[in-house]
Amino acid sequence: MNSSSTTQDQAKNAIKAMLSPRSIVIMGASEQLNKINGRPLKFLLEKGYQGGIYLVNPKYSEIAGVTCYPSLDDIDCIPDLAIIALPATMVCDSIIALGKKGIPAALVFSSGFGEIGPEGKALEAKLLEAARKSGVRICGPNCLGLINAFESVYATFSQYADGETYSGPVGFVSHSGAFGTAIAALARRREIGLGYFVNTGNEIDLGFSEIMQEILLDSRIKVVAGYLEGIKDGVALKKLANLAMKYNKPLVLTKVGRLGAGALAAASHTGSLAVEDGLFDAVARQYGVVRARNEEQMLDILEVMLYTPLPAGNRLGIITQSGGAAVMMADRAEELGLQIPQLTQGTEDALKKIIPGFGAYRNPVDVTGQFVANPAILRDSIKVMLDDPQIDIVVIWLQLMTNHVDLLVNLFSEIRQDVKKPFVVCWVAAPDEAISGLHKNGIAVLRGAEPVVDAVSAFVQYSQARRNWLQEQGQILPEINPKEALSPLAKLHGVVKTISAFELLAGIGVPMAQVKLATTEDEAINIWKLLSEPVVLKIESPDITHKTEANGVYLNLNDEASIRNAFRAIMKSAAEYAPKAVLSGVIVQKMSKGGLELVVGVKRDATFGMMVMVGIGGIMVEVLRDVAWRQAPFSNAVAMQMLDELRMKAIFDGVRGSLPVDKYAIAKLISKVSQFADSVSSRLIELDLNPILMGADGPLAVDCVMVVD
Amino acid sequence: MNSSSTTQDQAKNAIKAMLSPRSIVIMGASEQLNKINGRPLKFLLEKGYQGGIYLVNPKYSEIAGVTCYPSLDDIDCIPDLAIIALPATMVCDSIIALGKKGIPAALVFSSGFGEIGPEGKALEAKLLEAARKSGVRICGPNCLGLINAFESVYATFSQYADGETYSGPVGFVSHSGAFGTAIAALARRREIGLGYFVNTGNEIDLGFSEIMQEILLDSRIKVVAGYLEGIKDGVALKKLANLAMKYNKPLVLTKVGRLGAGALAAASHTGSLAVEDGLFDAVARQYGVVRARNEEQMLDILEVMLYTPLPAGNRLGIITQSGGAAVMMADRAEELGLQIPQLTQGTEDALKKIIPGFGAYRNPVDVTGQFVANPAILRDSIKVMLDDPQIDIVVIWLQLMTNHVDLLVNLFSEIRQDVKKPFVVCWVAAPDEAISGLHKNGIAVLRGAEPVVDAVSAFVQYSQARRNWLQEQGQILPEINPKEALSPLAKLHGVVKTISAFELLAGIGVPMAQVKLATTEDEAINIWKLLSEPVVLKIESPDITHKTEANGVYLNLNDEASIRNAFRAIMKSAAEYAPKAVLSGVIVQKMSKGGLELVVGVKRDATFGMMVMVGIGGIMVEVLRDVAWRQAPFSNAVAMQMLDELRMKAIFDGVRGSLPVDKYAIAKLISKVSQFADSVSSRLIELDLNPILMGADGPLAVDCVMVVD
C-alpha cells in the first residue's frame, strides 16, 4: 500500500469518526454556554447526544454536570472527535496532543488563520504541518462545526441549532458558516430535514468533496447539497459527482462568484483561489451536478427531488386555476428548454368534458376556480393529464384556499397513491398546514410559478444527465495512444511553429488548411504560383500570437505586386508591433471561403485540467462570450451537447438563405481535439483553432496557436 | 364639450363612485354568504363598511339583517355602485335598469362572456351596447370586484377578504382574479398594505389604466402596482405612466406573456390580443414604468419603494456578515448594471478600525459575525458607509439572529433616524418580529441576496428614469413639419420604390447611399462607368423585399462581363423566386465598405403606435434578437439609451483591433428616423434601414424597405 492510499484511508476513517463519533472531547470548553466554546456542550446535552462527552479546560472541574479535565492525558479513553475552541495560537499544540492521544479527527472552530491575511496563512501552514505529523485530520479552521442529526451529534456553535432541529434525507455541506446557517434555517422552515450539516471553513486539510463523499454513502441520505465559494480540487469534485451518479443521489450545488468581480471578492475573503466560473459550470453539467443559482433555488430543487419520482423526459404538463399563471410557467419552461407538448386527442376530449367552458382544456390547462365547488374537476384533470403518453411530469398551480386545505391535501394524496408519474404542486400563499399535509403524503409543494418551473427544469436535467450517464457507462472513447501523441511534442516548447502545429493536428485527423512558410518575398511568390489561387499572408513568429492586432494578416492576394507589398508590410508592422520578436517569415496559404466561423480551444486549468471550448465566430466570441466548455476527453455526443448550449446555435440550421452546417462534423472535430488534449495533457498548455471555417466540405481550421511547456 | 370628453368625464365620475361609493346595491344578493353572490354582503358587514347597503332579490325580504328589495325601483335612493352577481343572460337587463335608476357604475362578477368563446363574445357586445345606452360604466364582466380598504369597501368575492385585511399605501389592479388574489395574499403576509385591490376581468368598458389613474390621484396612495395579461390600449398606458411620474408615485407592473408561446396561451384565455412583449418592455422603460418579472419580485420592489428614500445614483454599498453573500450580491449587481464603487480612502481607513481583522473593509464590506458580541461594529460600519460620497444606497445582509432581534431592530431604527441616504436590509430567515419591527420603523427588509439586489436595481432605475423625466420636461424635439413630411408620401402606396425611398429619407437628413435604377444591362454598365468603382447590383421590385433570399444581390462587381452576367442572373432568379412579381430592373450602387452593420426599423403597432428599433448586424439580429425599441418620437439621449441596451454594445467601443464607432452619430440617425416616423404616422406602416454600415465617415444606410398604406 503506497503512502497516498494510506492517507486516503486515514482520511476516510477520520471523516467517519468525525461524522459519527462514539465520543467527543471539547478542547477549551467553557461554562458560558452561549459562547462559541460553550455552545457545543449545550447543544449536545439539549439534543440528547448518546455518546461520551469529555471536556478539557484546567479552569473547571465540571460544566453543566459533565466532568471537565485539566488535560487530555487525564481522560481514560480515546474520543473519536475533538472540537477545538481555543485561541488560534494554541491550536497547533492542541493538535499535537490529540495526535499523541490517538484521536483521529478534529473540528477547528478557531479563527485567525488564512482569512486574516499573511500572518494567519503562516499559522495555517504550521497547523497543517502539525496535522500531518500527528496524523489528526482537520475540518476547518474557521469553521462552525458539524451536525449529524440522525445521531444527535451537534458538534457546532451555529445558531441554527438554537431552534428545533430534526433529521432528514439531505446531506448539506457549506464552505461558509454564516451562509450555511442561513440555508439550514431556511431548510427548516420548509420542512426539509438535514441529516448532516457540515461547515468546512478554510479547508486546509479535509475538503468539501471528501466529506461529502462519506455523507453520500449513508443510506439515510437521499440527496446531497452544497454551498461553495470556490473550487480548489476539480478532481475530487469529479469523483464526488461520479459517486453521486453511481448511488443515484442527486448532488445540488450553489456556488457564488459567477462573475469576475465576484471571484475577486471571494479570493479576498476565503483564501480560496478564484476559479473561472464557466469551467465549473461546464464540469457540473458534464457530470450531472445540478447547479442552483441561489439558496432559495437550491431548496426548491431539493424539495422537488425529495418527494418526486424521476421524470422520463422533458415534456411538461401544466394545470392551473389562472390563465396568467399558465402563461408565466409556459414562458419560463420555454426559456429553460422544457417542452409544453400538445396533449393527445383523447386527453383533450376527456379534459373538455371535465373543465368548465371558460377554462382551457389544452396544455397549459386552466381548470378555473370552479374546482372549489367541484373538486372532481381538479382531480380528474390531473389524472387524465398524467395518463397522457405525451406528458412526463405535471405541475399544478393554485393559490390561497385557506378554507379548503384538507380537501386539497386529500385530493393530491389520492393522486400520489394512484399514479406513478411525477407531479409537483405550486401553491402560492399556501397555508402552513397545506404544506405540512402535502409533505406528510410525499408531495413536493413550491411557492411560485417561476420557481416551480426552475426547479422542475433542474430535476428534468438531472434525470437526463442520469440517463446519459447510464448510457455512457462501459463505453470507451477511441483513445489516442499517449506515447504516440506525445512523441511529436517531445522537442517542442513555448509557442509551436505554425507549420509544426498544423502538421501535428492534421496527423491526428483534425481538418487543417495547407500552410507553407515563406522566409523571402520570392518564396512567397513561388508558393502562390504553385497554388495558382488567391492567397493569405500571415506573420510567423513565436512571439506574436495575435496576428491581426500586429497588422500581420493580408487577405485575398492574387498578383505578384500585392504579394510583395504584403510581405514587406507584414514584416515591417510586425517589427514595429513587437520589436524584440523573432520573425520567422510569413505563412502563405489559400484564401479559404466559408460563411460561419468557429473557434475551438484547449486550456490546461489548474483546477479542472484539460478544458475544451467551442464558440461561434471571430469577434463575436469576445463580445458575446457565447462559448461552451467540457473537460477532456469526451465523446461526439458530449460535443453535440456543447453545440446545443450556444446561444447562437440557431445559426447552425441556416439563417436567412445561408445553408445549414454539418453539426456532427464539428462535434467530431471537437471530440477529437478533446482526446488529443487528454493524451498530451502533460505537455499541452493551450491550443486555439481560430478560425475554423464551415465550408461545403465541412470544417477547416485555417489558423492555430499551440503552446506547450 | 365634445362627446369624447363627456365620455371621459363620465368615466372619471363613474370610477370615483365605484372606488369610493357612499352606497352599494347588490343585484342578485344571496343569503348563502359563502357563495359568490353572498360574499360581498358578508365582507361589507364584517369589515364595517359605513355606507348604505342595498340588496335586490325578489326571493328574500332580508338577509343578515339587511333589507332585501324585490327590485331596484323599490329603493328610495340612488346607490353609487351596483354589484351584479346574476347569471350572464340577466346582466344586460340589469344594466339597463341601473341606467334608468341613474346608478353610474357597476361591478359585473358574472362570467360566461368573452372568456367562453364566440357565444360569450356576442353577449359581451350586447352588454357593452347596454352600458353605452344606459350610461352605466362597467368594471368586468368576469371580475371578482374591488376593495377600497381605506373606506372598508369590500365589493368583492375574492378569498383574499376571508382573512384579516388592512389598508395601506399601495394601489393594486389586476387583470386576473386568481393571480390577483394570490398577490394580495402574499402582500398581506409581507405587511404590504393594499389601499385598493381591483380586478378588472374582461375589461369590456373600463380598463386597467383608467381605473389606475383614479387610484393614483388618491393622496393616501404612494405606489401603484399592476398585474397584466396583455395590453389593449398603449395610449392609456403611456398617459398613466406620465401621470405616475408627475405625482412621483412609482408604477410597478408584472406582465405575463414574455414569449410567443405565452402570448398565445394568454390570447386563448382572456380574449386579450397578444402583444409583442418587447414593445411593452420598451415602452415601460421609456416612460419610467418599473417591470417586475413575477409576483415575488413585484412585492420585493414595492417593499423597497414604500420605505426607502430615492437614491441619487446607481452606486451600491454592500455590508454583510458573510463573504459569500457579498459575492452573490456583487455578481448580481454587476449583471444588472449597478456599480460597486471603491470607497474613499477615509471610509476604508475608518472601516479598517471598526471591523475585525478577518473581515473585509473594502466594498463589499464583511463585518463578520462579531457584531453579535459588539453591535457597534455593524452600526458604525453602516453609518460610515452611508456617509461616503461614493455611495448612493446601501444593502445590509444578515441572517437568522433569533436571539438578537430587539437589538438589531433598534440599531437599524437609530440609523434610519440619523441618516438621510437610503438603505435596505436583507435578512435571510428573519424572525417575524424582526420584519414587523423594521417596518414599524420605516425600514424595508427583504429575504435573499439576489432578490434584494434585483429590487434595489429596479428602484435605482426608477430614480434614474425620474431624473430623466424631470430633465426632459419642457424640452421640445426638433419637429419635422408633418405636412411637409407627408407630402412626398402623398402619391406612394404599398412597397415604395427604392429610388423614391432613398430620396425621401436623404431629404430629411438620413445618410443614405447613392442608388440608381438600371432597367437594362447597358444602363447598368453606364452607371458603373460613371461611378468608376466596384458596384453592387440588387433586384428592384415592389414584390420582393427579401432580396438576398431571391438571389437578387451581387456584390463587388468591377468589370463589364461580371455586371452583365449579374444583371441577367438577378432578373432570372427573381422571376423564378416570385413569378408574378413586377421586376422594375436592378439597383446599381457603389460597393460600400464598413465593418459593423446595423439595422434601424420602424413598425406601426396597433397597441403602441410608431415603434422604432435598432439592432446590430445582418444575420445576428435574427439569431440573437439583440434589438432595442422605443416609441417615436424621441431625443438623441433616448436613442443613446437604446444603444446601451444592446447585448453586443461592447462592439461599439472596438473589439480586437477594430475601431470604435461614433455612437452619437448612430443615435442621431435613430432619433431622426423616430421624428420622421411620428410625423408620417398616418401613412407609414413599416421601414427597414438594413444594413446601415458604420464607416469612417459615420453611418450610411445602403439598403431600405419602406411600406406605406
- The C-alpha angle with vertex B394 and arms to B389 and B399, in degrees rounded to 5, equals 150
Helix pair angle (B118-134, B88-101), 10° resolution: 10
Residue B523 in this model has a pLDDT that exceeds 50: yes
How confident is the model at residue B260, as a pLDDT? 54
Dist. CA A142–CA A136, nearest whole Å? 17
- B358 and A112: CB-CB below 8 Å? yes
Q: Is the peptide bond before A141 cis (omega within 30 degrees of 0)?
A: yes
Show which of residues 562-591 on chain A sit within 8 Å of chain B, judged by CB atoms. Answer: none
The pTM (predicted TM-score) of the whole model is 0.93
Pairing label, strands B316-320, B393-399 = parallel
B364 touches chain A (CB under 8 A): yes
Q: Quick check: B531 and B525 in contact, CB under 8 A?
A: no
Return the C-alpha cell found at B370.
462579531
pLDDT band at B606 (very low <50, low <70, confident <90, very high): confident
Q: What are phi and psi of B527, to 5 degrees?
A: -60, -45
Dist. CA B446–CA B430, nearest whole Å? 9
Which one-letter DSSP state was computed for residue A41? Answer: H
Residues of B in Cβ contact (< 8 Å) with A325: 178-179, 182, 256
Nearest CA in chain B to A184: B429
Q: Which single residue is written with the C-alpha cell 353572490?
A: B37
- The C-alpha angle with vertex B204 and arms to B202 and B209, in degrees rounded to 5, equals 85
Residues of A in Cβ contact (< 8 Å) with B548: 656-657
Closest by CA position to B226, among listed B239, B242, B215: B215
How confident is the model at residue A321, as a pLDDT? 94
A36 touches chain B (CB under 8 A): no
Residue B311 in this model has a pLDDT that exceeds 90: yes
Q: What are phi and psi of A616, to 5 degrees?
A: -100, 125
Residue B302 in this model has a pLDDT that exceeds 60: yes
How confident is the model at residue A616, as a pLDDT? 85
A678 touches chain B (CB under 8 A): no
Show which of residues 400-439 on chain B sit within 8 Å of chain A, judged by CB atoms. Answer: 400-403, 428-429
Q: Which single residue is written with the C-alpha cell 459527482?
A: A241
B374 touches chain A (CB under 8 A): no
Q: Residue A519, Cβ neighbours under 10 Å: how many? A: 12
Q: Which residues contact B595 (CB under 8 A, 6 or more apart)?
A: B658, B659, B694
The mean pLDDT value of chain B amounts to 91
Q: Looking at this protein, which amino acid is placed at residue A196? A: Y
B643 touches chain A (CB under 8 A): no
Show which of residues 335-354 on chain A sit within 8 Å of chain B, judged by CB atoms. Answer: 335, 340
Q: Which single residue is written with the C-alpha cell 504560383?
A: A529
CA–CA min distance B519, chain A (Å) = 26
How confident is the model at residue A619, as a pLDDT? 66
Considering CB atoms only, which of A322, A335, A648 is closest to B623?
Answer: A648
Q: What is chain A's length?
A: 709
How confident is the model at residue B618, as a pLDDT? 66
Nearest CA in chain A to B426: A182
Which one-letter DSSP state was computed for residue A339? Answer: B
Closest by CA position to B431, among listed A167, A189, A428: A189
* Average pLDDT, integer, range B329-352: 96
Residue B262 in this model has a pLDDT that exceeds 90: no
Nearest CA in chain B to A356: B116
Strand partners, A366: A320, A360
Helix pair angle (B208-216, B3-19), 10° resolution: 60
Dist. CA A369–CA A359, nearest whole Å? 9
Dist. CA A63–CA A42, nearest whole Å? 10
Closest by CA position to A205, among listed A106, A115, A97: A106
- A261 and B330: CB-CB below 8 Å? yes
pLDDT band at B525 (very low <50, low <70, confident <90, very high): very high
3-class SS string, B536-602: EEEEECCCCCCCCCCCCEEEEECCHHHHHHHHHHHHHHHHHHCCCCCCCEEEEEECCCCCEEEEEEE
Closest by CA position to B473, among listed B686, B626, B635: B635
Q: Looking at this protein, which amino acid is placed at residue A346? A: G
Q: What are phi and psi of B473, to 5 degrees?
A: -60, 130
- In our burial notation (b when 16+ CB lie closer than 10 A, e otherwise), range A545-554 reads eebeebbbbb
How confident is the model at residue B594, as a pLDDT? 66
Show which of residues 241-300 on chain A sit within 8 Å of chain B, judged by CB atoms. Answer: 256-259, 261-263, 265-266, 268-270, 293-296
Return the C-alpha cell found at A363.
396544455
Which one-letter DSSP state was computed for residue A481? Answer: P
- In our burial notation (b when 16+ CB lie closer than 10 A, e otherwise), range B257-269 reads bbbebbbebbbbb
Q: Quick check: B463 and B310 in contact, CB under 8 A?
A: yes
Return the C-alpha cell found at A284.
457540473
Q: What percent of chain B has pLDDT over 90?
A: 75
Weakly modelled stretches of chain A, pLDDT under 70:
1-6, 259-276, 478-480, 594, 618-619, 622, 655-658
How confident is the model at residue B162, as a pLDDT? 94
* pLDDT per position as a tens digit, B471-502: 888 677 766 677 777 788 888 888 899 999 99
At B83 the three-state DSSP class reads strand
Strand partners, B704: B689
- The C-alpha angle with vertex A215 and arms to A214 and A216, in degrees rounded to 5, equals 90
Residue B177 in this model has a pLDDT that exceeds 90: yes
Show which of residues 310-329 on chain B sit within 8 Å of chain A, judged by CB atoms. Answer: 320-328
* pLDDT per position as a tens digit, A21-66: 999 999 999 999 999 999 999 999 999 999 999 999 999 999 999 9
Q: What are phi and psi of A491, to 5 degrees?
A: -95, 0
Considering CB atoms only, which of B262, B401, B619 is closest to A656?
Answer: B619
Which one-letter DSSP state was computed for residue A102? Answer: T
CA–CA min distance A295, chain B (Å) = 8
Q: Quick check: A139 and A201 in contact, CB under 8 A?
A: yes
Residues of B in Cβ contact (< 8 Å) with A261: 330-331, 334, 340
- The C-alpha angle with vertex B390 and arms to B389 and B391, in degrees rounded to 5, equals 90
Dist. CA A525–CA A532, nearest whole Å? 10
Indicate the burial class of B194 (C-beta count within 10 angstroms; 0-12, 13-18, 19 or more).
Answer: buried
How confident is the model at residue A568, as a pLDDT? 95
Nearest CA in chain A to B596: A619
How confident is the model at residue A262, as a pLDDT? 36
Torsion of CA A223, A228, A234, A237, to 10 degrees: -10
Q: What are phi and psi of B274, to 5 degrees?
A: -65, 130
Dist. CA B289–CA B240, nearest whole Å? 10
* pLDDT per position as a tens digit, B29-69: 999 999 999 999 999 999 999 999 999 999 999 999 999 99
Dist. CA A605–CA A611, nearest whole Å? 7
Residue B291 in this model has a pLDDT that exceeds 90: yes
Closest by CA position to B173, among listed B239, B255, B85, B233: B255
Q: Quick check: B386 and B421 in contact, CB under 8 A?
A: yes
Q: Quick check: A250 and A309 in contact, CB under 8 A?
A: no
Q: Quick check: A225 and A172 in contact, CB under 8 A?
A: yes
**Per-position DSSP letters for B371-396, written without gaps between them:** GGT-THHHHHHHHHHHT-TT-SEEEE
Q: List, in sequence order, the alpha helices (H) in A583-696.
A: 618-624, 636-645, 663-679
Residues of B in Cβ contact (< 8 Å) with A328: 256, 262, 294
